[in-house]
Amino acid sequence: MPKPLRLSNLSPARKALVRLCETINHGSIENLEVRHSEPMFDPIPVALKDLKLDSDEGSRPEFILADFVLSAEVLRLMDLLDEIDCGTFRRIEVRAGIPRRILLESPIRGRADTRLFSHFRVITSSKRPPSRSWLLLGTPDRRPA
């Protein structure tokens, strides 16, 4: 049985992403660039924190730990980073300090990239440069503005 992946096994940029999710606790990270399968913090992404005013939700127990085993959701996020070379996480939804949902924008370059978006229809917009494809849910007549 392989050893579980721990925070200490991650690159500094990936550690920063995990710690940012813990800090936000509830909310989202928007416009996080990915280059060479690593999250980039230049330009600085937008962090939105969703606060409940009627209760204290508390932080994750891992927040105070120097090292810990990564959750299944964080492992899936790391696998997704490994699969993409460059792109943008338009939004990472964070609940209880864990990344739960991701809205990803990525140029489609070939067979390897298309499996990431196998459940989307690929629509090339005539208003955009031909090297870029846009991913939309819906019918082909719904094109980006």
Has residue 1 been placed in a domain? no
Has residue 2 been placed in a domain? no
Q: Structural domain tally of the chain?
A: 2
Provide the strand spans (E) within 16-124: 27-35, 38-40, 46-49, 86-95, 98-105, 121-123
Integer Cα distance of 140 and 39 in angstroms:
31
At a CB cut-off of 8 Å and minimum separation 6, what does 10 contact?
18, 70, 78
- Cα torsion through 71, 54, 52, 25, rounded to 10: -30
Look at residue 5 in the predicted model and tell me its pLDDT: 92
For residues 81 and 115, membership in a common domain is answered with: no
Model confidence over 39-90: pLDDT tens digits? Answer: 999 999 999 999 988 888 777 878 888 999 999 999 999 999 999 888 999 9
For residues 93 and 115, membership in a common domain is answered with: no
Model confidence over 128-144: pLDDT tens digits? Answer: 444 444 444 333 444 44
For residues 65 and 98, membership in a common domain is answered with: yes
Has residue 45 been placed in a domain? yes
pTM above 0.85, yes or no: no
Model confidence over 20-39: pLDDT tens digits? Answer: 999 999 999 999 999 999 99
- The pLDDT confidence band at residue 110, using thresholds 50, 70 and 90, is low
Q: What is the largest CA-CA distance in the chain?
A: 51
Q: Provide the domain limits for residue 145.
A: 109-145
DSSP character at residue 141 = T
Provide the strand spans (E) within 55-85: none
Integer Cα distance of 104 and 92 in angstroms:
9
Integer Cα distance of 31 and 58 in angstroms:
26
Look at residue 1 in the predicted model and tell me its pLDDT: 67
User: Which residues partner with 135 through β-bridges?
Assistant: 122
